[in-house]
């Protein structure tokens, strides 16, 4: 597997863990500050999603560069 593809696994795992934490803390655990927990979780998920998008864009650029060199 290519390095960039492998690098995507960590952010996806992190994103999945973040979603599970928010669901646990806000829904199952029924914390009083439920909206704050959801808001913070959404901000963190957005950060991770941007990281994933940067990696994907980098992979696309590299693929285009490789195809142009052929």
Ranges of each domain in the chain: 3-69
Spell out a b/e string for 24-63, using b for 16 or more CB atoms within 10 Å of the CB, else e: ebbeeeeeeeeeebbebbeebbeebeebbeebeeebeeee
Judged by average pLDDT, the poorest of 19-23, 50-54, 60-64, 65-69 is 65-69
Whether the per-residue pLDDT at 64 is higher than 80: the answer is no
Q: Model's pTM, two decimal places?
A: 0.72
The phi and psi torsions of 52 (rounded to 5 degrees) equal -60, -45
- What local confidence, expressed as pLDDT, does residue 1 receive? 53
């Amino acid at each position: 597997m290519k390095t960039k593809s492998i690098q995507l696994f960590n952010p996806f795992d992190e994103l999945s863990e973040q979603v599970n934490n928010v669901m646990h803390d806000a829904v199952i655990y029924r914390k009083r500050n439920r909206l704050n927990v959801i808001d913070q979780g959404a901000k963190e998920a957005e950060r991770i999603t941007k990281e994933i998008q940067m990696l994907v864009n980098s992979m696309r650029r590299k693929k285009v560069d490789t195809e142009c060199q052929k």
